Amino acid sequence: MLKKKKVIKIFTLLFILLAGYILIHTMIGNNKFQKLITILQLDEKQRFFIKKYFFPYKLIDQQQQKMFDQNVKLSEQKNLINKLGPYLSYLEIDKKESGTPIKLTSDVVKLSNNKILNKFRLNSGFYDGIHELMPGSGYIDFYNDKILVMSSKGIIAYTDDLNKEELVQIKNNIDEFININQFKKYKAASIKDILIFNQKIFVSYTHEIKKNCWNTSLVYGDVNFKEIYFEELFTSEKCLVPQNMWSSGGRIVKLGKNSILLSVGEYLVSHLAQEVNTINGKIIKININNNEHEIISMGHRNPQGLFFDKTNNFILETEHGPQGGDEINLIKIDVIKDGKIQNYGWPISSYGEHYGGKSAKSNIENYKKYPLYKSHSEYGFIEPLKSFQPSIGISEIEKIGENEYVVSSLKDKALYFFSLDVQKNIIDLKRVEVFERIRDIKFKNQKLYLFLETSPSIGMIDFTKL
């Protein structure tokens, strides 16, 4: 009889706890939940602990729904981003610390060029986006036949077959360089790119060099599928208080046996792009053996794509313009060998405009300092191969065939295929809508791989099939 009473008490207690959980779950996000917090006198740390470990997805769902509500004003959306951002970062960090696999589910989308986009959705871990509130952002590269993906907050995972329905996590120490302390300060504080080269993995990131003073830096480590230990490779002695963390660049590509290229944005401190004593607004060449660097090009705003075309002996670079004026630029290797810095004009020349345009009173001083002339060549700068008006939110660029290339976009959610003629002019430019923001692309074995951050997913287009 006594044992039966104990069982009844246990079930009663469990019922009360379950009922309480369900009640609080339904209250999250409304005034009743706030009243409950007030009654319990919970401080911010305690409130965060409860939301983080007991009700995270409920809170995220409610806040995301508000973001999609067309009646929400822009100022309110910014408040939601500031409010929810740290929760998403903590969730992503928790997933990283757990070391558990990233589950995949697959889907297919037919594109306008008669190609099929295979999508492998990342169902956990990639929660915190660089620009959008959610879901997460990431970058892809290859080591032999394995595809590696790294999230913007430091998760690294791999597989040798996307059809296996999961990615295996790799333990790493990237949090020694960028972690929740930075993510809480700026949503766009993040990993910026990865490169696998010479059996090492290189990672660029927005580096808080000293308190509230930032620049774009590099770490590297040996490729190891159990654990990667990163150490510093390159960082600038100079840092700045950023006007915009998104304008940080960060693309990495290999250049020869012992060198890599790193793109560095000007963080919207525009005049730095024309100053040779800083790395900002530049493409720099870094010797991976001794960490020495040199500037190979300048006058860039926010370089988001790099590709070294070894066959044709040039570099293709893409960058975000201001309001309009995203660019594709060609950097000549022969000029680099001559020790000359190639200048692409920002912020003196651009086919875009300052946000708000010339009619905005707030731009009077901007146009005096930075006139944004529509010609580059007339003012001693190099003309872009292509300028997009309006902007497409240009991202990475890749070569897919002889003199054939593809560039991806974020804002426009599309791929742009084109060729270069003998005079290095862009011809046959064709837009293919993908319906998602494309953060990264890589081309391997006649397949184009994409990091799609609206899902988020790893996308794959097989060019061997019609």
In a domain, 84, yes or no: no
Cα 122 from Cα 105, distance rounded (Å) = 7
Same domain? For 216 and 297 the reply is: yes
Structure tokens at 298: 């300048």
pTM: 0.84
The answer to whether residues 20 and 123 belong to one domain is no
Number of domains, the chain: 2
- Looking at the structure, tell me whether residues 178 and 103 fall in a common domain: yes
pLDDT for residue 133: 73
Query: Tokens for 392?
Result: 């497409």
256 and 145 share one domain: yes
**Boundaries of domain holding 53:** 2-72
Determine, yes or no, domain membership for 231.
Answer: yes
- Supply the pLDDT for residue 6: 63
- Write the CATH number for 269: 2.120.10.30
159 lies in some domain: yes
- Contact at 8 Å (CB) between 260 and 200? no
DSSP per position, 144-157: TTEEEEEETTS-EE
- 83 domain residue, yes or no: no
Q: Which two tokens stand for residue 234?
A: 């390159």
Return the H-helix or E-strand segment holding 258: none
Q: Are residues 58 and 188 in the same domain?
A: no
Task: Spell out, as residue ranges, where the chain has pLDDT lower than 50.
Answer: 29, 45, 57, 62-71, 74
* 173 shares a domain with 48: no
How much is the pLDDT for 87?
82
Q: Are residues 56 and 113 in the same domain?
A: no
Same domain, 67 and 137: no
For residue 259, being part of any structural domain is answered with yes
Question: Domain check: are 68 and 147 in the same one?
Answer: no
Please report, in angstroms and rounded to a whole number, the separation of the first and last CA atoms in the chain.
74
Domain end point (choices 72, 105, 120): 72
Same domain, yes or no: 169 and 293: yes
302 in Cβ contact with 319 (< 8 Å): yes
Sequence-distant (6+) residues with CB within 8 A of 209 are 215, 217, 235, 236, 239
Q: Where are the alpha helices (DSSP H) in 298-388?
A: 333-337, 364-369
In a domain, 85, yes or no: no
Within this chain, do residues 344 and 256 fall inside the same structural domain, yes or no? yes
Residue 51 lies in a domain: yes
Q: In the 8-state DSSP scheme, what is residue 225?
A: S
Domain contains 304: yes
Residue finishing a domain among 72, 99, 116: 72
Residues facing 441 on adjacent strands: 450
Residues 266 and 314 in one domain: yes
Final residue before a domain boundary, out of 16, 42, 72: 72
Task: Please give the pLDDT value at position 39.
Answer: 58
Count the Cβ atoms, other than its own, within 10 Å of residue 317: 28
> Using CA atoms, how far apart are residues 337 and 50, in angstroms rounded to an integer?
58
